[in-house]
Structure 1
Amino acid sequence: MARRNGRGRKLSARILISQLLILAITSAIGFVLLAFAQRDQLDRDSEQRALTIAHITAADPQIRQAMESGVDGGIVQSAAGRIQNSSHASYVVVIDLHAVRHSHPLAELVGRPVEESVEVWHGEEVLGSDHGATGGSANAKVPLYGPGGELVGEVSVGIPEKDVLGQLRHELSSFAEFAAIALAVGCTASYVLARRLKRTTFGLELEEIAGLLQDREAMLHGIKEGVIAFDPQGRVSVINDEARRLLGLGTAVGSRLDDLLPDGRLRRALDGTLEGLDLTVLTDSHCLAVNRMPVVLQGRALGAVVTVRDRTELVGLLRELDAVRGLTDALRAQQHEFANRMHTMAGLLELGEHGAALDYAVELSRGDAAPAEAVRDRIANPLMVGLIVAKTTVAAERGVRIVLEQDSRLGEQPGHLRRLLTVTGNLLDNAVEAAQGQPGAAVRLSLVETERAITLRVADSGPGIPPGAAERIFEDGWSTSPDRGTVRRGLGLALVHRLVQRHGGSITVSEGPGAVFTVRFPLPDHDPAPLGTSSTAAPSVLEGAL
């Protein structure tokens, strides 16, 4: 049954058979239409030929004279027979105005009247067909005038229908040969086309192609990863809903990346300029992991497939985990220092040196409170004070000294507070890491608030930024340090850069030894969202990742 319905045949055979049927049917229809058209044309030609013979007969002087005088004597029959024989007409009949025949191929009909009346009383010519005693003929009738110019009769001439059919068969045989040649060429072309289509579809049958399409649609729209497929020319051929959401693309099928995305790390990762696995790319709303895989089938390059995964929440959690781990290490280090102090206090008390123990406790409290008080004198906001003191403590455990510049001034409720905390914490972490292990490792912090802007400056004593890297340092993925722990390098500064620019600020860095980062937020703050909230969902995601 499957074979009978055509499903069991291969795709190439089904295409070939369908095209052959189409060619055969169209050729047959064309041949029939051509036969009818040619028959009509031959009938018209026969009528014109009969008309010419009729005019010649009507111009014969013997026939004209005999018909006008009324004295026939067989003259008309003889002249008409001569013309009929020479022209191979079916008949040449001359009748008078009383519809009596004066000539006819059948001699017994001469002198007898015709059944129809004379049709040329007004001198017109009549063309048509006739089925008389001699069979079917193409007929032409013309008026017959005597030498004096008076109408004396009618001349009717017929061309045998068998002549028309014979000529038609001769011409149609030629047409049939041409049609057969055209059909053969069409069959050959159909066979070549079917083979080519077979190669194009990699040998897959129609049902297999339909099944693959259904599976592809179900897979593309069912998975939680973004998928984009590119053809060999770099145009988007397939894109699923998740990829549109992550990349912010609309109708992208058929477009090139140059028309969809501006130049940047994202476009370079998608088009294959950047090589590697799990390339980390930042957009305004997401932190993405991008992988590109070329597609080659049977030695033919078919383009590439790109997968895009959303790692925004994962990166944020990993950075928070790393920060907590660093704080835990610092607290563990401080535990030993506190234990030493407590042992000293316990020893003094056991020895009864109560005064010495009191003096030692007062000295320790003053020493611990001094850094916090120094920060409070210049920074009025308690959240920023707590951040700076915590970073100073952690940096001290790593052998790095954080110094707050004397010109630092920040009010109790400064603008861009939420963003200042994020940017300051990130830049201090980077600076401490860069200065760690350097002789005289130090980080200098400056926070200056004026009526027009808040300026943050962080300088470290590390090796600095390589020459020519000041622009690339803010690209996601750029870093001079290897990945540490759970944190992927090259994200912090890129996130800071996006955060600052999104709120109308600017960030610059100096090249050479001792990097100096300068951030400027304009005032007034047009997005004064309370700490812990966000004006839009996208910034909160990125700021949380810092």
Structure 2
Amino acid sequence: MQEDLPGASVRRAPGTTRHRNEEVPVKPIRFRAGRGGRRRLSTRILANELAILALTGLIGFVLFAFVQRAELDRSYEQRALAIASIAAADPQIRHATEYGDPTHVVQPVAQRICKAAHASYVVVIDLHGVRHSHPMPSLIGKRVAEPIVVRDGRTHVGIDQGALGRSANAKAPLTSTSGALVGEVSVGIPERAVLSELWFELPTFGLYAAIATAIGAAAASLLARRLKRTTFGLELEEIACLLQDREAMLHGIREGVVAVSPDGRITVVNDEARRLLGIGTALGQRLDELLPDGRLRRALDGTLTGTDVSVLTDDHCLVVNRMPVSLQGRALGAVVTVRDRTELIGLLRELDSVRGLTDALRAQQHEFTNRMHTLAGLLDIGEHESAYDYAIETARSGQALTEAVRRHIGNSLMVGLIVAKSTVAAERGVTIALTDDSALGDDPPHLRRLLTIVGNLLDNAVDATAEAPRPEEGRRILLTVTEADDLIVVRVADNGRGIAPGTAQSIFEDGWSTRPERGTARRGLGLALVHRLVQRHGGTITVSEGPGAVFTVVLPQPGAEPARQGALFTKALPMGSDLG
């Protein structure tokens, strides 16, 4: 930011903005039908939900069928085991098998048990693998191909792919009356029995799946309607386009935009706002977590009221506007716009400088015209000797002010500034005098900052003095500029109204002023700029309260020792006004 900016305002065309405290209502977007042949968002959501429900229902149905089939297999295996255990406990079968079944009683008994239990087969096998019963009589007396599995004395279950087809099979050990193992009993229940029961149970589960699908479809329809209301009837493509347009607009405009939620958290911030405020990403953070307490944070959080609040930062001169936002009576937070006016205010400062120079030239031209008229009148009446003396006196008096300043100030830029300010002040009836203890070298450090500080303080003093009632001794301003080995002290004292008690610190805030705005420049930035310049370079600025303000600025010299700075600063503070 230019260091010589006194501050200025940018005027807005009437009717282009609301008052910053006026709540901005957001109108809800009405529902619109889908464009062209594209299906609406609600229709797509419902179709997708139905497809998902149908797919998951089908997968669930298939999984249930497999699980139920396995469960029925286990159930029928246990049923077959129970039948096999009953057959193995039959005394006739046990006795006949022990002695090789010479009377052939095993087959009738086994058939009777098979018929009573609705089994597919009941096969009795001795330890030699010879069948003593079988649904196919031709196989009785023949050996089985597989080994006897009950030799371990335990029962066995499983699925058997036998001569009669797939069946749930169970094998139980067959013992004699003495308890010795003599064979095994194999029982099977046909697959058709398992499938018939499975098909009997599947419709019930199908009904549950259909009910779940219907409930899911109803829930999907309600969800689609809710999403439709939430998105204001916008379709997916329109939402994507809005997001792209928003991002392009936010990050493409030259103004900073910050959206703040009702709880003070940042929800939207564009690149320009990050640059101007120096807040980084900032999303989801509170303002008090990002910025220190000061005028900038108070302007952003709404503590400061008013339109176009001017804020000075270390790098920019900003104009901040904050507007609350609501939707259907519900507070949504606020939108803050931040505009960079650094270059504009710099141009306004240059314009004010040109205006001051113009005023000074006009005053000099007016005085020169009066002198020329006087000289011409003396020549007309023939007072040539008096005209000569008057011309010599006028030439000497024109250089008196410049020579008086040059005796104490070695730098020509500072001399020109003081002489120009004195000329402009004289036109307003104010006298600027340089004190005898002033002393500034040809090339002082902080020259640019000194020019800004002295210029702003003199402008402020001239305005305050010219607008105050004229005292008996006249409107006067005393300027002191002292350069020491460690410090530079600037003191400006006037005999105006002064500073009201209790406002000594407030006058250095951005926008503080006791005078109304003028045509091009916003009041209240000059002293704030001086305060920032002084603090940025390790100096101090103080002001006296009461009638007749006295501003004292102390700037350390580069490389000065802190102890020496403190001693000279303490010595500089008691300096008061000699204006009465």
Q: TM-score range by the shorter chain?
A: 0.7 to 0.9
Look up the match of 1:374: 404
Distance 1:499 1:184 in 2: 73
Contact 1:286 1:310 in 2 (8 A): yes
CA positional deviation for 1:118: 4.3
Distance 2:494 2:193 in 1: 112
User: Which one has more relative contact order, counting CA pairs under 8 Å at least 6 apart?
Assistant: 2
Unaligned 5+ residue runs, structure 1?
Answer: 527-546
Unaligned 5+ residue runs, structure 2?
Answer: 1-32, 561-580
Distance 1:8 1:206 in 2: 10
Look up the match of 2:300: 270
Look up the match of 1:388: 418
Report the RMSD for the aligned CA atoms in angstroms.
2.8
Bigger shift: residues 308-317 or 62-71? 62-71
CA positional deviation for 1:71: 4.1
Residue among 542, 557, 564 paired with 1:508: 542
CA positional deviation for 1:354: 2.4
Distance 2:115 2:265 in 1: 79
Q: Give SS of 1:316's match.
A: helix
Contact 1:120 1:142 in 2 (8 A): no
Residue among 508, 512, 536 paired with 1:478: 512
Q: Give SS of 1:122's match.
A: helix
Look up the match of 2:132: 102
Amino acid at match of 1:291: N
Look up the match of 2:358: 328
CA positional deviation for 1:121: 6.5
TM-score (norm 1): 0.87
- How many residues align structurally? 523
Distance 1:460 1:258 in 2: 40
Distance 1:176 1:338 in 2: 111
Is 1:418 paired with 2:448?
yes
Residue among 479, 502, 509 paired with 1:468: 502
Distance 2:35 2:186 in 1: 61
1:275-306 Cα distance to aligned partner (Å, 9 max, x none): 33332222211112223334445555444333
CA positional deviation for 1:6: 10
Contact 1:416 1:525 in 2 (8 A): no
CA positional deviation for 1:132: 4.6
Look up the match of 1:251: 281
Amino acid at match of 1:449: E
TM-score (norm 2): 0.82
Bigger shift: residues 171-180 or 280-289? 171-180
CA positional deviation for 1:55: 2.8
Q: Pairwise mapping of residues 228-307 of structure 1 onto structure 2 (< 5 A)? A: 228-297=258-327, 299-307=329-337
CA positional deviation for 1:233: 4.2
Is 1:111 paired with 2:140?
yes
Is 1:9 paired with 2:44?
no
Q: Give SS of 1:137's match.
A: strand
Look up the match of 1:407: 437
Amino acid at match of 1:447: V
Amino acid at match of 1:487: A
Q: Pairwise mapping of residues 10-409 of structure 1 onto structure 2 (< 5 A)? A: 10-71=40-101, 73=103, 75-81=105-111, 83-84=113-114, 87-104=117-134, 108=137, 111-113=140-142, 116-120=145-149, 122-123=151-152, 125-132=155-162, 135-297=165-327, 299-409=329-439
Q: Give SS of 1:493's match.
A: helix
Distance 2:406 2:356 in 1: 25
Contact 1:322 1:485 in 2 (8 A): no
Distance 2:485 2:320 in 1: 43
Contact 2:480 2:492 in 1 (8 A): yes
Distance 1:428 1:88 in 2: 119
1:463-488 Cα distance to aligned partner (Å, 9 max, x none): 22233322222222222211101001
Distance 1:13 1:347 in 2: 100
Contact 1:392 1:401 in 2 (8 A): yes
Contact 1:97 1:118 in 2 (8 A): no
Change (3 A) 1:165 1:29: same
1:492-544 Cα distance to aligned partner (Å, 9 max, x none): 11111111111111112223322221111001269xxxxxxxxxxxxxxxxxx
Change (3 A) 1:38 1:360: same
Change (3 A) 1:305 1:110: same
Change (3 A) 1:437 1:261: closer
Runs of 4 or more off by more than 6 Å in structure 1? 3-6
Change (3 A) 1:516 1:175: farther
Contact 2:34 2:235 in 1 (8 A): no
Distance 1:257 1:53 in 2: 81
Is 1:520 paired with 2:554?
yes
Contact 2:172 2:186 in 1 (8 A): yes
Q: Give SS of 1:28's match.
A: helix
Change (3 A) 1:80 1:122: same
